[in-house]
Every structure is written in structure tokens, then in C-alpha cells.
Amino acid sequence: MLTINNLTYAYDKTVYDFSLHVKKNEIIGIIGESGSGKSTLLDLIAGFLQPFDGNIMLDTIDISKLNTENRPLTILFQKYNTFEHLSVLKNILLGLTTSLKPKQDEINKAKKILKEVGLEGFEDKLTSSLSGGQSQRVALARSLLREKPILLLDEPFTGLDLKTRKKMLTLVKNISKKRKLYTIMVTHDLNDCNLIADRVYKVKNGKLCQV
């Protein structure tokens, strides 16, 4: 169980106080207006922002005390998820090793995941030559390769056309169910949540309210 206990933070006269329980294999959708604090919640969970109070428990471990890089999570942003000057394979392998001198078994693993996200044969292409949907698949593949139990999605498919978006959301749903992940997706579109989320919350006045 992933439990967020009274995670408090204040910014620009708004006080945030988030509490949430996420079961294994569950997808939570978070909606809210622009500037309501959706992304602040993800930044707090990821450790980009330090809460004033509260904690984040993954089963019995308090992960809020850990640095970002040591937290058992992986994040997908809306944009800038890939390095355009690197190939698809190198972008994915960055999830495993930052030296970019991978071992054969790591390459095999990356190729297997590429197949899972539908990008088989794209290994040597530069990500700058990919479409928006394909780039997000690369980022998703890298997230999966890291094998972290928590998957955070920060409006990852905004800007994609409807067909690609639906495809990507279904892909995320299948993968997170198959891998039994704790998934939290922030979006401004309720339709996205309806498509894949088990429960939906709205950020209102700095708090999470179930929809």
C-alpha cells in the first residue's frame, strides 16, 4: 500500500494538505484546474519539493525521507522526456546506467521493453525524428525498464491526437496492471481518467476530494 499522510506544503498563499491511499495494481487519476496544485502533489511525491510536514509510506518504509534518485518511483512528464541527440536505445538505457556503456543483458532487456511499447526496430533512431506519441513511448519504456513500483504520470499525453492518446492510455493501463504498479496520473481531462483510472480525485482548495 502507498500511503500519503497529510503531506503539507505552501506556495503563493495556498496551503496544500494531501492525503491518499493507493493499492498495488491500482491507477489513481488526479484532476484539477490549472494552478490548482496537481503537479505540486507529484513534485512532493517525487521529492522535487520538500513537504513542511507529513510522510509517504510504501508499505512500512517512509520514502519521504529519501532523495529523489533513491525513491522507488519513476516519472513521465508532458514534454522533455527524451534527449533528442541520443538514439532511442540510449534514451531507454539511461534508466539503467548513466555511463551509456551498457552490458549485453541490459541491451536485451531494453529491446524487450521496446517491443512491449510497440517500438521494435526503432533502436537506432534519434528521438528527434520521432512523433510525439513515439517519444512518449520511449519515455514510458525507460520508466518501465527501471522496474520501480510507483509510476507517476504528469499529464504525459496532453498534446497528442485523440487516437494516439487513447492508444497510449490503454498501453499504460495494460502495463501497470501487468506489472502491478502503484500508478498516479495527473491530468486536466476527466476522459483520460475515465478510460484508465480506478479512482479519481480532484484537487480543490489544496486538498484531494474523491470524484
Comparing CB distances to another protein, the nearer of 54 and 72 is: 72
Of 92 and 197, which has the nearer Cβ to another protein?
A: 92
Q: Where are the beta strands (DSSP E) in 34-114?
A: 53-58, 61-62, 73-76
Quote the least distance from Cβ 67 to another protein, whole Å.
8
Residue 73 or 208: the one with the smaller Cβ distance to another protein is 73
Nearest distance from residue 210's CB to another protein, in Å?
28
Q: What are phi and psi of 134, to 5 degrees?
A: -65, -40
State the alpha helices, DSSP H only, in 68-161: 88-93, 104-116, 132-145
Q: How far is the CB of 20 from another protein (least distance, A)?
A: 20
- For another protein, the closer of residues 49 and 190 by Cβ is 49
Instruction: Give the CA count within 13 Å in the CB-facing half-sphere of 187.
Output: 23
Q: How far apart are CA 177 and CA 37, in angstroms?
A: 27
Tally Cβ neighbours within 10 Å of residue 113. Answer: 20
Q: 132-145 vs 104-116: helix axis angle to the nearest 10?
A: 130
Judged by beta carbon, residue 83 or residue 190, the one nearer another protein is: 83
CB of 142 to another protein, least distance (A): 8
C-beta of 83 vs 147, nearer to another protein = 83
Alpha carbon 12 to its chain centroid, in Å, reads: 26
Residues that bind another protein (CB under 8 A): 46-49, 68-70, 73-75, 77-81, 83-86, 94-95, 98
Enter the DSSP assignment of 87: B
- Strand pairing report for 150-154 and 73-76: parallel
In whole angstroms, the minimum distance from the beta carbon of 22 to another protein comes to: 19
For the bound state, the minimum distance from the C-beta of residue 209 to another protein, rounded and expressed in Å, comes to 27
